[in-house]
Amino acid sequence: MSAPYAEVIGDPISHSKSPTIHKFWLDRLGIAADYRRAHVKPEALADYIESRRSDPDWRGCNVTIPHKIAVMHHVADPGAVRASIGAMNTVARAEDGALFGTNTDAGGFFAPIAGLDLEGRPVAVIGAGGAARAVLFALSKANVGPVTVLNRSPLKAMGLLATFGLQGSARPLDARLPEAALLVNASALGMTGQPPLDLDLSPLADDAVVYDIVYSPLETALLRAADARGLATVDGLEMLIGQAAIAFSLFFGAAPPEDCEDELKALLAQ
């Protein structure tokens, strides 16, 4: 019998930072297991899941573009993720060996800001794609005040506010920001190869936190502008590491080590 392993699946997959994170933690904890990349094309997803279902060494996989929605057809959904976030980013094995799916992006997003007092305070979110769904789901559980979602397509943003039962409004990307206590960029804007995100941060509250979930580049123009205004910032590696930590526990039955996050971040920033 070979060693236990987990994987990250996607098309393309070579860019994924997940193997770096999981292998770093496995190594630190001295767990004899592996974490691999698997290039799975859309038409091969069903066969992939069936082949891994019967492999006792396979502990599960992280799921990235373009499989986050399609994978929901192949695994159990005990947390009703399909009806809430509407996408899965992790598949793992239940105690009885059956495969189930979940979404660790919402928990990973919220972990770095769990200590903020956002109760009743206005929040602004840029984007209405897959990552924004996880962000808005998390915010819907956090008792925040009105949520302003700015998106290229405001109609899509309006639909998400309704889906997650959030009070607030949907606006185009050039709308003025509210006096928010938290601004989250959950769009692709500002990412390497994408158009820049050009926002006037002056309306934000003086104690606002600016959170950019984009992690390539790590220091985005948005975070630089927030820093220049003296605002606290959270970068995209925080969410990336946070969502991976929840998945790691599901795959390997152990929490990641807590004392080496700076070292991991330095490794990921290379």
C-alpha span between 85 and 104 (Å, rounded): 10
140 is in an annotated binding site: no
Please report, in angstroms and rounded to a whole number, the separation of the first and last CA atoms in the chain.
Answer: 35
Residue 141 bears catalytic tag: no
Q: Which residues bind ligand NAP (CB under 6 A)?
A: 105, 108, 127-132, 151-153, 156, 186-189, 191, 194-195, 213-215, 236, 239-240, 243
Distance in Å, CB of 68 to ligand NAP, minimum: 8
Whether 202 has a binding-site annotation, put simply, is no
Phi, psi of 253 (to 5 degrees): 70, 20
Residues, the chain, total? 270
Amino acid type, 189: L
CB of 134 to ligand NAP, least distance (A): 7
128 is in an annotated binding site: yes
- DSSP category for residue 144: B
CB closer to ligand NAP out of 131 and 199: 131
Residues 41, 68, 141, 156: which is the catalytic one?
A: 68
Task: Name the E strands within 19-98.
Answer: 34-39, 58-63, 90-93
Q: Is 54 annotated as a binding residue?
A: no
Residue type, 231: L
Q: Which of 40, 62, 15 is nearest to 192 (CA)?
A: 15
64 is annotated as contributing to ligand binding: yes
CA torsion sign for 33, 263, 10, 96 is: positive
- Residue 134's identity, in one-letter code, is A
Minimum gap (Å) between residue 104 Cβ and ligand NAP: 9
Q: Phi first, then psi: what are they for 211, rounded to 5°?
A: -120, 115
Residue 21 annotated as part of some ligand binding site:
no
Q: Report phi then psi at 147, rounded to 5.
A: -110, 120
H helix runs in the chain, sequence order: 18-29, 45-53, 105-110, 130-140, 154-163, 221-228, 236-252, 261-268
Q: Locate tokens 């990412």: which residue? A: 191
Q: How far is the CB of 136 from ligand NAP (least distance, A)?
A: 11
Least Å distance, CB 151 to ligand NAP, is: 5
For the annotated binding site for NADP(+), the residues are 127-131, 213, 236
Catalytic sites, residue numbers = 68
- Which residue ranges make up the annotated binding site for shikimate? 16-18, 64, 89, 105, 215, 243
Binding residues: 16-18, 64, 89, 105, 127-131, 213, 215, 236, 243
